[in-house]
Structure 1
Amino acid sequence: MVLRIGGLASGMDIDTLVEQLMTAERVPLDKINQKKTYTEWQRDDYREMNSLLLDLDNTIFNGVAKQASYIKKTVSISNSDALSVKNVNSTIDFSGSIKINELASAATMQSFTDSKIRDSSKKLSDIGFSGSQTITISAITKDGVIQENSYKLPISEDDTLDSIITRINKDSGVTAFFDNKTQRISFTAKNTGGIEGAPEIILSDDGDSPNKFFNNILGINSNNDLAAKPREDGTVFGTAGTNADITYNGLNITRSSNTFTVNGVEFTAKKVTTEAVTFSSTPDVDGILDTITQFVNKYNELVEKIRAKTTETKYRDYQPLTDAQKEDMSEDEIEKWDKLAKSGTLKNDSILNNVLTKMRSNFSSPVSGTSTYSQLSQIGISTTANYLDGGKLTIDEDKLRAAISADPNAVYELFQKDGSTSSEQGIARRLRDTLKTAMTDITAKAGKTTSVNNTFTLGKVLNNYASQITRFEDKLKLIENRYWARFTAMETAINKANSQSTYLTNMFSS
């Protein structure tokens, strides 16, 4: 620690002198900090470009690269109150007729006598239920068969019926309801359909009489078939599940659910009909067109932003501001300066220029081995005439609509055809490969927000600048201490000389 003596003896402002000297000494450090700041800007701009590339890749993946985008159908139905039709994965147009003879229904069963429970919110121990047991529930599945792995639920005297019903409704294949007014319970299968010669709901427990949960406590049969058998007075306490009875294009079929799929088309029967309901489909031209338009717009947006960044003017006279410079400027002045200083961070960048060139090639090169279309121009998509646009795409909507209407599968093939070489691959596949290569290159250079500096090129540069800054700051401390040591020595010498002068003056005056 250097002893610092101000200018008491010399009358000089030593603090200001040292500060001015250190300002000059800090110039090389300021330059390193400016380089570090500029590199951080460059890194961030690279990452922004990578985000734009990823946005386009996601748009392609979720749009023009998905077959589902091209099998969208507009369906006409003669009686939409009785039947709904939705395309699931049919790649061709479809038509036909369906007559709904019977709807599928779910099996049910109810208590045949009042249960011992008067209040479903009270513990089972309040009605004399003691100990614990495990109840088992089996129900029909969506496939129309009884489930193999039955639902098992341990219960005890500390449970309430409400808590038991909550768990049954959440995890089993039935829905339970208890009416406190009538003290009776009902069970309904969650899935519709009937099983020939077997029940659709089976209830059991491992309790002993008179403590058996279902039969003794709730007063309900062990399955819905038993519950559905008429008693002596003709009453029934359950129903069997039924299958949907359908006549499809003249062929009689049954299904366990009112919603079923035939040849990739999903049908939902809503009510019984006396006449056949006709249906037919055509390509959803508007929907497919919208998907392709979204892709073109996203691509054009990317091209515009990359072009703007790679042709941006670089203002070499505007370097990143130092903290000292910012102190003498207003916020508005700083903002304007920074805008110019940040300009041109990616000017003529080889990675970005290369991805633009490759994407243009992806579009212009024919796709070999296709059935109908081999180039985008054949379906109404081409590059703009203005070369300054950098290869933006434009759409002839009438031509594209005609291509979609004629054969949406051929349009899909043009975008997503598989192949072992680039020339055999569809436009979307080529583009995604190009984008992934560019994103990999940018990540290697600028990393991701989660990356550590030593894993990418610019990060290593930043680490180097940080090390230089640390070393230079240590050097500046030594320089500042040296200045203070010299000025302190000067002050000490002057003070000593002044003391001697005063002594001599006093001697001669006496």
Structure 2
Amino acid sequence: MRLGGLISGTDTETLISALMELERTRIYRQENQQVELQQKQKAWRDVRSLIQKVQDKLDPLRLPTIFRSRKVTVSDDSVLSVTAEPGAAQTSYTIKVNKLAQSHMVASRAMGLEDTLSAGRFQIGDDPANVIEVEAEDTLSTLAAKINRLNAGVTAHVVSAGNDQYRIVLTSTKSGAAHRIQLSQLDGGATLQDLELVADAEGEFRHTISAAQDAEIELNGDPKPYTSSTNTFSNILPGITITVKKPSSEAVTVTVDMDAGKVVQAVKDWVSALNTLQDQLKTLSAYDSEKKTAGILNGDSLVRSIQFNLRDLLSRKVESLPETLNMLSQVGIGYGAYGSADYGKIVVDETKLKAAIERDPEAVAKLFNAETGPIAEMNAYIKTLLDSQEGPFKVRDESLTKQINRITETIERLEYQLELREQTLRRQFQQMEEVMAKLQSQGNYFMMQLFGGMFQSQ
């Protein structure tokens, strides 16, 4: 039972709380230090993420492929579309679409949905394993299910023919003349005859919905057509893929050019990632002399190192290239002028860069792809930063994690000590109250004895 200061007149709960709060200042200092370390760890992880983004945007520029990008212009894209791989010939040509590829589609005669079929066996295609067993109780629906389960290059579905009549429709899973539907009755059965799905001598069916047909185009006015079992042509012109959409009475003009805009955008994306990184580093390491506040990474040498190296690398020369084109500044990549809104940032002169690419894309590619130079050295430097074994980010993260864990252990130990301390304080105050209560009781006894004797003597 707690006396709670009833005897001494002291608010022991408030006193204990005040003493414990004073004791907890040691924990608060540890917690504040831990928060600071966690903020540093998060800051470095954010920086690492931004550097990874710089790497991701830099990688395409290190390969010659992007400098050989092509853009395609089609005079009527409702007729066809064209894609060009890097390095495809820059030229113009005309295409006339005569036919689109079609899948063979045939139908049975119309019959009731519950009508049963003639029993028998028939084969789909020329593979003897693709045989359908038709039983006397089979209907159009059960036959369709059997055909679909066989997966023999033909799909089946039942459609309405009106007046409670239905047909089974067979469709070749592949388009083109070479993928005609072939059905062969076996063992003298009558299933196909009953369904009117027997082809004539020329392979034609009575109820043909769509003929098996190749796509057909004419190139540059040549009357000899090119054909494809699909609506895609990828083997006519090197690096060019043509997809036809509809037949055309007139030829469509296709032009393949250098896609300088794609390279410019890739450079802008890389520069934007660099500027974002530098802005973040500046914020994290800043010091406000008026408010006397500092960024969480203020004074860290790695921040200064990253800031310096990334800026310095951009101004390096590629010694193996001619003086006329051996620096990034010569293709429009530099720093914002003093006094401008872009001062201190990396800027891209899009007009200058695009002109250089259009004039000599291979020369610009060499500037970016050189084994030694600003891009190669930046790539190497970033790889050392991002090294997952011994990189500075890895080392810092592990060090901060250890410090945070040690503080967590210290806080747990202090919490335990404070718990014991509070128990001791409560026990001591309890003992004090009990002693005072005993003394008070004894005092009351003596007073009663003293004054009681006086009253008796009267």
TM-score by length of 1: 0.71
1:504 alignment partner, SS class: helix
Deviations 1:195-241 (A, max 9, x none): 4xxx6333469x866475xx25643247x985327x8xxx9787443
Residue 452 of structure 1 corresponds to none
Q: Distance in 2 between matches of 1:114 and 1:209?
A: 20
Take 1:263 and 1:376, find their aligned partners in 2: how far apart are those partners? Answer: 33
* Contact preservation (8 Å) 2:177, 2:212: yes
Q: Distance in 1 between matches of 2:49 and 2:417?
A: 41
Out of 114, 118, 131, the position equivalent to 2:109 is 114
SS at match of 1:382: strand
**Contact 1:175–1:189 at 8 Å: present in 2 too?**
yes
> Which residue type is aligned with residue 167 of structure 2?
R
Instruction: Using the TM superposition, give the Cα deviation of residue 44 of structure 1 relative to its aligned residue in structure 2, in angstroms.
Output: 1.8
User: After superposition, what is the alpha-carbon deviation per residue over 1:419-464, rounded to whole angstroms, capped at 9, x for unaligned?
Assistant: 4xxx16x72x5444433432444652565xxxxxxxx222221111
Kindly tell me the number of residue pairs found equivalent between the two proteins: 440
Q: Which amino acid aligns with 1:490?
A: M
Aligned to 2:91: 94
Aligned to 2:361: 408
- Match of residue 194 from structure 1: 177
Given residue 95 of structure 1, which amino acid in structure 2 is its aligned partner?
S
1:305 is aligned to 2:280: yes
Q: In structure 2, how many angstroms separate the alpha carbons of the residues matched to 1:153 and 1:464?
A: 73
Aligned-pair CA distance for 1:110: 2.0
The 5-angstrom pairing of residues 74-473 of structure 1 reads 74-77=71-74, 83-98=80-95, 102-111=98-107, 114=109, 117-119=111-113, 127=116, 136=124, 161=141, 164=144, 168=148, 173-174=153-154, 176=156, 178-181=158-161, 183-195=166-178, 200-203=180-183, 210=189, 212=191, 215=192, 218-221=195-198, 226-228=202-204, 239-242=211-214, 244-247=216-219, 252=224, 254-256=226-228, 257-261=230-234, 262-269=237-244, 277-313=252-288, 343-367=294-318, 369=320, 373-386=325-338, 392-417=345-370, 419=371, 423=372, 427=375, 430-439=377-386, 440=388, 441=391, 444-445=394-395, 456-473=398-415
Q: Does 1:485 align with 2:427?
A: yes
Unaligned runs of 5+ in 2: 453-458
Task: Compute the displacement of 1:47 (Å).
Answer: 2.0
Shift of 1:309: 1.1
Identity of aligned residues (%): 25
Q: 1:180 to 1:445 in 2, by over 3 A?
A: same
User: Counterpart amino acid of 2:182?
Assistant: I
Residues 110, 187 of structure 1: 8 Å contact kept: yes
Structure 1 counterpart of 2:109, which letter? D
Aligned pairs for 1:36-47 within 5 A? 36-47=34-45
Q: Given residue 118 of structure 1, which amino acid in structure 2 is its aligned partner? A: G
Q: 1:478 to 1:75 in 2, by over 3 A?
A: closer
Cα distance in 2 for residues equivalent to 1:193 and 1:313 = 73
Work out the CA distance in 2 between the residues paired with 1:41 and 1:364: 33
Structure 2 equivalent of residue 22 of structure 1: 20
The question of 1:474 aligning with 2:410 is answered no
1:240-283: CA deviation from partner (whole Å, max 9, x where unpaired): 43352534585946331442122111223456667765433322
- How far the C-alpha of 1:381 sits from its partner, in A, is 0.7
Partner of 2:456: none
Higher alpha-carbon Rg = 2
| Whole-Å separation in 1 of the counterparts to 2:366 and 2:209 | 58
SS in 2 for 1:366: coil
In structure 2, distance between residues paired with 1:435 and 1:153: 63
Change (3 A) 1:361 1:509: same
Question: Are residues 312 and 168 of structure 1, via their aligned partners in 2, closer, same or farther at CA, if it must alter by over 3 Å?
Answer: farther
RMSD: 4.4
